[in-house]
Structure 1
Amino acid sequence: MYAIVDIETTGGHASAGKITEVAIFLHDGMQITGKYETLVNPGIPIPRYIQALTGITDEMVADAPLFEDIAENVFNLLHGQIFIAHNVNFDYSFLRHELDYCGYKLQSKKLCTVRLSRKVFPGFPSYSLGNLCRQLNIGIVNRHRASGDASATVRLFELMLAADKQGAISQALNARSKDKWLPLHLPQEYVDDLPSTPGVYYFHNEKGKVVYVGKARNIRKRVTSHFTGNSAGRQRQEFLRNIHSITFEKTGTELMAFILESIEIRRLWPQYNNAQKRVESKFGFYTFEDQQGYLRLAIEKRRKYTTPVFAFNLLAEGHNLLRQLIREFKLCPKLCFLQTSPDPCAGMAEKTCKGACEKKEKPAKYNQRVLEAIGHLQSAQPSFLILDAGRQATEQSCILMEKGKFYGMGYVPRDVAVSDTAMLKDLLTQYPENEFILNLLRTYANNNAGRLVQVPA
C-alpha cells in the first residue's frame, strides 16, 4: 500500500543530477512487508561536497548497476503504491525523471512526511528529518544514506499513523488536497486565502524578501498554476524550495495588474523575475548643441539613464515623425541627421530649410523652431482616462495618461465626477512610468478608443 522512499543524488535537481543510491520500504500500514536498496552508478563524478555529506564515493559506485539496469524493478515496486518521502517532491521528481528516460511512466499518489508532520506534530521548531527524529526519539543510523534515512522515515510515518486523530493523512490523499503539489515550505492557508480576482501576487522567501512578482486575471488560479507540473529543472526546483509565504494586492482590472506588476518588478528587483529586467532597446529624440551653436535633433537608441525628449518603439516611426517636424517647422534634414549624404540640402531645394546647414540662418532663430517642434510633439500627445471596474461595486478604477505620459492610477467612488483632472489627481497614486507601461497603454488606447475618456491637455 505504501512505498517509503529515500534516495541519494549527485545534485539538487533531477534534470542535471543523478541518483547514487535508492532505498524503498514497502509498508501495509502496520509493518514493513518488503525492502529494496542498492547503490547506483550515476555515470558522472560525484561532487566532493556530496561525497563528504553522504559518504558515497566514486569508487563505491564504480561497480554498482546503472539506473537503467534497475529501472524495471524500481517501477514495479513503486507502481500502484502511495509514494512517501521526507520532502516527497524531491525524491519523486528524480525517480520519475529517471524512470521516464527508461520508458516507464510513474504516476503515484504522494505523501510528504514534512508537511504531514507539521499537522500531526505541530509546534516543533524544525521539521527536518534529523530534528524530528530527535524530538520524537527515533533512532537513526547511517544518516544521509538512503537506507538509514528511509528507515527513519518509516518509523516517523508509523508514529504519524498512530497520532493522526484529525485525519490529516486521509485528507492529504484526497484528490483535491493541495499537499501533494504545494512547495515544501508553503503552508496551505496561504493558498486558501487567495482571491479569485485580478491583481498582483508576491512570493516571499524564508526571510520575507520578495523573490517573485506576478500578475493575474485570477490570482488564485494563476498562483496554483506555478506549483503544478513536474519540471525537473534546477531553476524551477530552486524556485519552489524558496517559497515560504504569499502576499497579494487586488486590482480592479487585469490591465492594472499588468501595470502594477511592471512597477513592482522594477522597485523590488525580485530574484526570479527576468522578463522585464532587460534593458529595453527603444528609440528616442535627443537634442544637443553643436560647435556652431545649432540645436541638433537626432534619433538615437535609448540607453539606460538617458532621457529622450520623446520616445518611440520603432525606428521607422521615429523617421516618419521627424519628417513631419521638418516639414511643419522648417527644420534642416542635415542638422536632424535625416540626410547624411554630402549632396546639397534637400530641404533647401524643397524650401523647408532656411539655410542653417550653410550658416545662412542664425542659430538663435533656427533653435527657436527646434524648441517649438519639440513642444508641439510633446503637447500633441493624448490625455485621457481609462475608467473600468473597481475592486468592489462602490468604486471604479481609473488610469490617467497626461500628454502621452503615464501619470498614475487608483480608485474613485462611482458617484464622484471625473471631469476635474486636478481633483482627480488627489485620488490617484502617482507611479513612475517605463517603456513597457507606455506601450501597454498605447496599445490599449488604440484598440479601445471608444472606452477612453478624453481630458483637457
Structure 2
Amino acid sequence: MYAILDIETTGGQFNEEGITEIAIYKFDGHEIVDQFISLVNPEIPIQPFVVKLTGINNAMLRSAPKFFEVAKRIIEMTNDSVLVAHNADFDYRILRTEFRRLGYDFNVKTLCTVELSKRLLPEQPSHSLGKLVRALGIPMADRHRASGDAMATVKLFKMLLDKDLNKEIVKELIKFEIQKGIAPKLMDIVEKLPSKTGIYYIHKEDGNIIFIGKSRNIKKRVNQHFTGITKSAKKIQNEVFTVTFEETGSELIALLKESEEIKIHRPIYNRMSPKTNFSWAVYAEKDANGYLNLKLQKADGRKKEIKSYTSQQEGKDALFRISSHYHLCQKLTGLYETKTHCFQHTINECDGACVGKISPSEYNQRVQAFIEKNLFDNKTFALLDKGRTISERSAILVENGVYKGYTFYDLNYQINNIEILRNIIIPMQSNRDTRNSIQSYMRRAKAIKIINF
C-alpha cells in the first residue's frame, strides 16, 4: 500500500515552516482506496510569496484544525504504507518536524517520484511536477494546492509503475510488507484480485517473480493455479507469497506484456515458451507475365515476408481464405497445380487471371490490397483500444513499421500528437511475435480505432 501525499507550507526558515494544507491518497497500486484532505492552521504567518503561489492566506486558516488535531488521521493514512511524494525528502522532513513538536517519532519508508522519474524517464528535460505532467499528458487541476498536486503525483506514480518493467518498485513494497509481518494466505490473495483482463505476477517471499501469466479474468486464472494438482501448480502453491497484477483492459496489451516480461524476468515456473517457430511465410513474387503471385514458402530471412505461420498446413489454410476474400486465383497462389486454368475458373469463381483473361494491373490491385493490409512497412499509426476503466483508453504505437510500445491515456486527452505519445509510451521490443500478434488482433477486434500519422 502507498500513501501518496503533498504538503503546502508557510515558507520561511529551514525547519521553522508550518503546514498550511495536506492531502494524502491511499493507493493500492491500482486505485485510490482512501483519502484525507485538509487545511491546517500553522499558528504562524504565511510568507507573501506563498500566498501568491498557492492562494492560501492567513484568513482562510483561522478556523482550520491545528496539526495536533489531524495528526491521528495522518498516522492512520500512512501506517503500514510506503510514503510517496514528489520531492519526498521535503514532505517527510516537514511531517517529522511537526510530529517531533508533539513528542512523537514519525518514521515511515519513503519513495520519491522525482528520483523515480529520473531513472524511468531519463529522456525528460525537466523532472518538476508541473513540467512532467504537461509532457506526459496527465490532466491536472489546482496546481500548487495539496489535493491537485497529490492527485497529479498519483497519476504520475501509476505511469511510473507501468514504466518499471523490472518491477523494482513492486519488489521493494513486498520486502517492506514482509518486514511489517503482512503475509497473506492463498484465499486472501485470490480475494483481492480483480475479475478483469490483465497480466499477473506470482512472487515468492523475497519479492522475486516465479510465474507470469495473462488472462481475461485474473482472479479465476490465479485461483486455478492455487487449486491445481499438477506438479507445477503444487510448486507455485508452496512458494507463493503474494500476487501482483496489472489490469490492461486490452487483450492485446496483456498478450504483448506477457511475452515481453517472461523474457525479462525468466520466471522459473513459466515453461520458457519455446521461441515461436514461424517456419513458413507468404511472399509476393511477380511472374513472367507480370502477375503478382502470393506464394507459401519456407521462411527465408533474406526476403520480405507478408505473413508468417508455424506450419505449412496453417499457412495453406490461411492462403485459401486469403484467395477467397481477395478473389485471387488458386493457380497463381500455388494452391492448385495445373497447366491450364484453375478449377475455380471452371465453376466461375475465378475471373481468369490464370489464363490471361484479366490484366496483370487489375489482378495485382487485389494482391496489393492484401499486402497493404498486412504489411507495417513504413507505416506509422496508433491502435486505440479499451483502457482499464471507462474513462480511459489504451494505445499501441507502431512507427515506420516497428512496434514501439503501449500506453494508457485519459479520455479527456486526445492522442493526436505523436510527440506526446512518444513521451508516455512504455517501450517494448519489436519482433515477429509482436508483429503477428498485432496483425492478428487488428483483423479480429472490432472495438479498435486506428490513427495514422
- TM-score class, shorter: 0.3 to 0.5
TM-score normalised by structure 2 residue count: 0.40
Q: Which has the larger radius of gyration?
A: 1
TM-score normalised by structure 1 residue count: 0.40
